[in-house]
Structure 1
Amino acid sequence: MTKKLFDYQVDEPVEGFFLLKDAEVRIAKNGKKFLAINFQDTSGEISGKFWDASDQDVESFQAGRVIHLKGKRENYQGNPQIKIFQMRLTHDGEPKEVQQFVEHAPMNTGAMEEELNSFVFEITEPNWNRIVRHLLTQYHDAFFSYPAAKKNHHAFAGGLAFHTLSILRLAKAVADEYPHVNRALLYAGAILHDMGKTIEMSGPVATTYTLAGNLVGHIVLIDEQIVKACQQLKIDDQAEAVLVLRHMILAHHGLLEYGSPVRPHVMEAEILHDLDELDASIMMMQTSIAHAEPGTYTERIFAMDGRNFYRPEHDGTKAADPKES
């Protein structure tokens, strides 16, 4: 059976076909070019450095291409890394289909769409419902195929919709527990909060940020689309209901320094921010813990203050040995 990236142990030779998720040209201290690469397959991604890259190497090894790699699995500053011995583009007859190396959401599009529509049905405020349906239709294909981020959490095909569904399930639990929460507002905000990433990012393969993504960002981008939707649907974009919905999106990063133009000033906006943080953090920890052996620490997670996490010997991921009971 063909080994995946994370099947290889530290110091074990690596050989196989992988996708170049990223291949960024940088300049080393000696003034020579090198490529900062992220190799990817369905098990995840691991970085590597291709030193002394020629102009031809830069032209050949571009993000989105499948390559054959020989190297060694290492750890660098607590993070997995591939030491590259040899790398080339695939030949005729070798794997070239990009999709077979792309990690996907654990649910298919049909199942995610069906569950998400059940939440849309519960958005009982008419204008919120109309706006949500309008934008879901407009960005349907990208919403159900894009990742939720280039790196960190839900960085896989379909990750945006899967992240949204996870938040909706959490939102349902909160609304069931606290009857005063406006369920319709929380659901509408959850569905729209990251939809701007369909404009901010390029797609599920070799994901990059678009010009609009870099210069404007997904929060403002989707707020603009909400206003445009109101104009097309003949809804007053200055009505309180619309302003409250826009506030849900504009405030969901929680702090100004994290990109939100405003901090949450509506209870449901604070809840959405908290649930967004919770789901992203759990996904980052889950991904790293899955790649760590029991009794060891994970790699350091940059987006969680560079912390690493210990995976206990008995973490509930396998059945207990009957002899131990």
Structure 2
Amino acid sequence: MTKTLKEYQLDERVDTFALLKSVEVRMTQQGKRYMALQLADRSMTIKGMKWDATEAEVSEIKAGKVVHIQAVRQAYQDKPQLKVLSIRLTQVGEPQDPTDFVSAAPMQKQDMAEEVSAIILQITNANWQRIVRYVLNKYHDAFLQFPAAKSNHHAFAGGLAYHTLSIVHLAQAVVKQYEQVNASLLYAAALLHDLGKVIELSGPVATQYTTAGSLIGHIVLVDEEIVLAATELKIDLQSEDMLVLRHTVLAHHGLMEYGSPVRPMIKEANILHQLDELDAGMQSFDNALEQTNPGEFSPRQWALDNRSVYKPENISFNSETD
């Protein structure tokens, strides 16, 4: 049985199939061509280096393809990396479906779709419910299939819907804890806040930023979708309903340097920003801990402000008793 990428140990010889998520052809200082790769299966994503790349490899090996590799697992700056000795496209009789190598959300698409539909019914403001229903129907399939990021939190198939539902669950708890929070506004903005990623990203296989994603970004893209929906549904964009909904979505990154054109100026916008930070951070911790042995520290995590995280040996999780 073929090992997963995660199962190979340091200095072990690797012989397996993987999805090529990205490839860049570069030159060494000596003028020799090499390929910087990102390889993945359902267990992990790992960087790889193919030195002395041939003309055939450069022309044939493309992102989004399943490849067979022979390599050695190494470490670079405390992070796992593969020294790729050989790489080729798979042949007839070998794995060729990229979706077989893409990690997925821990919920089924149908279950997520049903829960989203139930949450929409909890939005009692008619304008907000119509906007949410319109935009989610427009991007129904992509919303359930896309990741929430290229490489950071929830960067797996279905990650966008899973992240969105996680935030709504947190929002439901906040509504119970604090008075004077408009639940409908918070739920509507939570369902919409990252939907622009179906335009910003290319999809769940070999995810890349689209031209629109790079030039505009998902926050402005989803605001545009809200405006288009309101225009189609003949909802007044200057009404307070629409202004606070758009503001809550536009402000969800919290700071302008993080992509939000405005900072949160109403309570629901501030809550959504905090919940988005919380859920993204928890997933980033999970990603790091999954690749870390008990009693050890992870490599530094860019998504966690370049911190290392520690995986305790003797602490149980999700338990009411110690």
Same fold (TM over 0.5): yes
The answer on whether the counterparts of 1:298 and 1:309 sit within 8 Å (CA) in structure 2 is yes
Matches within 5 A, 1:1-325: 1-316=1-316
Q: Percent identity over the alignment?
A: 53
The answer on whether the counterparts of 2:57 and 2:88 sit within 8 Å (CA) in structure 1 is no
The answer on whether the counterparts of 1:20 and 1:66 sit within 8 Å (CA) in structure 2 is yes
Alignment-mate amino acid for residue 163 of structure 2: H
**1:10-39: CA deviation from partner (whole Å, max 9, x where unpaired):** 222211111101112233332333222111
Alignment-mate amino acid for residue 291 of structure 2: H
Aligned-pair distance for 1:72? 1.6
Alignment-mate amino acid for residue 3 of structure 1: K
1:323 corresponds in structure 2 to none
Between the aligned partners of 1:183 and 1:303, the Cα distance in structure 2 is 30
The answer on whether the counterparts of 1:80 and 1:299 sit within 8 Å (CA) in structure 2 is no
SS at match of 1:14: strand
Taking only aligned residues, the RMSD between alpha carbons, in angstroms, comes to: 1.6
Which ranges of structure 1 fall in alignment gaps of 5 or more residues? 320-325
Aligned-pair distance for 1:305? 1.6
Aligned-pair distance for 1:204? 0.7
Which ranges of structure 2 fall in alignment gaps of 5 or more residues? none
Between the aligned partners of 2:27 and 2:240, the Cα distance in structure 1 is 52
Alignment-mate amino acid for residue 204 of structure 1: P
TM-score by length of 2: 0.96
Provide closer, same or farther for how the CA distance between residues 135 and 253 of structure 1 changes in structure 2, counting only shifts above 3 A. same
TM-score by length of 1: 0.95
Alignment-mate amino acid for residue 246 of structure 2: R
Provide closer, same or farther for how the CA distance between residues 295 and 56 of structure 1 changes in structure 2, counting only shifts above 3 A. same
The answer on whether the counterparts of 1:199 and 1:218 sit within 8 Å (CA) in structure 2 is yes
The answer on whether the counterparts of 2:50 and 2:86 sit within 8 Å (CA) in structure 1 is no
The answer on whether the counterparts of 1:18 and 1:40 sit within 8 Å (CA) in structure 2 is yes
Aligned-pair distance for 1:155? 0.5
Aligned-pair distance for 1:291? 1.2
Between the aligned partners of 2:219 and 2:147, the Cα distance in structure 1 is 16
Aligned-pair distance for 1:299? 2.3
Between the aligned partners of 2:265 and 2:317, the Cα distance in structure 1 is 40
The answer on whether the counterparts of 2:123 and 2:188 sit within 8 Å (CA) in structure 1 is yes
Between the aligned partners of 2:90 and 2:262, the Cα distance in structure 1 is 49
